[in-house]
Structure 1
Amino acid sequence: MSLQIHMENFIQYFSGNDLNIDKANFDKFGLKAKLTHYQKGQKLITQGEPAPKLFFLIKGIVRYMSVSAEGKEFTQSFAHAPGISGSTRAMTRDVNALFSIEALDDVICLEFNWKVFYEQMQLQPGFMAAYNRLLENMFIKKEEREYAFVQHSAEQRYLTFLDKNPELGNKIPLKMIASHIGITPIALSRIRNKLK
């Protein structure tokens, strides 16, 4: 597919069905994207380094992961196409990322320079409304995940993960799922055996 078609898909995803934002708006404001391919294992952003880009995932799955000072790896979350990815903190505050984003399979994405994107977005109320909707969805997911950690059993968290991410269950290594829901791979194996 051409860059133009991918841009149209991004605009549709970004704006949602209820907002009147079209390609002409993006063209008028000079919002340019770079079409990029990341191979499995490559990082879109790296923990401890600047992360000034916003990504629109066209194909593939990524995971947000961090490594502690002791070298222990934590899987924070996953994102898959179609979807937005990046470090809001690093982009908006112009600081280094607290985590990495790793391609779990081949990833094709559009890359936007965040500063240009945000500056232009502020000139059009519809853009800001769309951005606010995306942020709301992110915060809702974060709240639900935090609630699950204190209110749900490990088995419930696993079942919720499968329910909300049916396309990821068989594509992601079990150790990453275990880390994401806050248990060991051995504990996850026990849960899976129990559910068989």
Structure 2
Amino acid sequence: MNITEQRIKRLISHFHLSDMDLDDSVVLRFMPGELILQEGRDMEYFLLVVSGKAKVCSASADGKDFLLCYYISEGIIGDVELMTGSHIANATIRAVTEFICIGLPYRKYEEKLKQNLLFVNDIGRELASKLLRSSKKSVITALHSCEERLCAYILFTEQEGFFLETLADTAKSIGASYRQTFRIINTLCRDGVIRKEDRVYRIVDRGELLSRTPDFYLE
């Protein structure tokens, strides 16, 4: 996927950064499965998302990952850290599809970004939106079955009609046991919704998969 200079300028303008000296900004491209941020580690870049999907997870005390959300298309990574004055990533972010960002060296641009009132307003709206989505998802996730969460996860992470995630990672991401996840995968295969091909799964009946997914997960 090519990223044009015009697209970069449009994104920078969208976040009211056109008047800033961004000579040290870089375009970063992550491939599926590649680590973007590691929870607990120093942040090198503040990121403006150009395109792609990435899963955002937080680790529990016992070392298990819990899926928080996805960044899809445009967005900001590092807004929480910026506004709390932290240089440490508060979540782990990993690319699901090819993921493209504009990276601003965090320590160099930190104060400049905070002094940009229009940008800070953008940050406020972004954080408010994330809070609302997170609160709503926490409630709805608690009310939906493992099968519904798994179907949503398959749709979010699919790549050209294939589900490539391991069952172990999938179970951790949707908050289910490996045994539950394995059983539901087998049910989806038996019902003709997906089909196992070697070590991956092909989506066979997308309509049925969608029907088993809560609408909220597709917003």
TM-score for both structures, normalised by structure 1: 0.68
Query: How many pairs align?
Result: 182
- 8 Å CA contact 1:89–1:95 kept in 2: the answer is yes
Amino acid at match of 1:8: K
Aligned to 1:81: 73
After superposition, the C-alpha distances for 1:53-105 in whole angstroms (9 at most, x for unaligned) are 22222233222234556554443332232332347247733243343212223
Partner residue in 2 for 1:17: none
Task: Confirm or deny: 8 A CA contact 2:66 2:174 kept in the other structure.
Answer: no
Are the structure 2 counterparts of residues 65 and 179 from structure 1 closer, same or farther at C-alpha, using a change threshold of 3 Å?
A: same
CA distance change for structure 1 residues 147 and 34 in 2, over 3 Å: closer, same or farther? Answer: same
Instruction: Give the 3 Å change call, closer, same or farther, for CA 188–12 of structure 1 in structure 2.
Output: farther
CA–CA separation in structure 2 for the residues paired with 1:71 and 1:139 = 24
SS at match of 2:40: coil
Determine if the alignment matches structure 1 residue 186 to structure 2 residue 187: no
Inter-partner Cα distance in structure 2 for 1:121 and 1:57 = 16
Q: Which amino acid aligns with 2:176?
A: I
Q: 2:158 aligns with which of 163, 170, 176?
A: 170
Larger deviation, residues 43-52 vs 172-181? 172-181
What residue is the counterpart of 2:12 in the other structure? 11
Is the contact between residue 74 and residue 180 of structure 1 (CA under 8 Å) also seen in structure 2? Answer: yes
Structure 1's consecutive aligned runs of 4 or more residues displaced over 6 angstroms after TM superposition are none
Percent pairwise identity: 18
- Alignment of 1:120 with 2:121, yes or no, is no
SS at match of 1:147: helix
Corresponding residue SS for 2:8: helix
Say if 2:21 is the partner of 1:30.
Answer: yes
What 5-or-longer segments of structure 1 have no aligned partner?
Answer: 15-20
TM-score, with structure 2 as normaliser? 0.62
**Alpha-carbon spacing, 1:180–1:70, altered in 2? closer, same or farther (3 Å):** closer
Q: Select 1:100's aligned residue among 86, 92, 99.
A: 92
The C-alpha deviation readout for 1:114-163, integer Å capped at 9, x for no partner, is 4555533444443222221111111111101211233333345456x47x
Q: Which has the greater radius of gyration?
A: 2
- Could you say which structure has the greater relative contact order, defined with CA pairs below 8 angstroms and 6 or more residues apart? 1
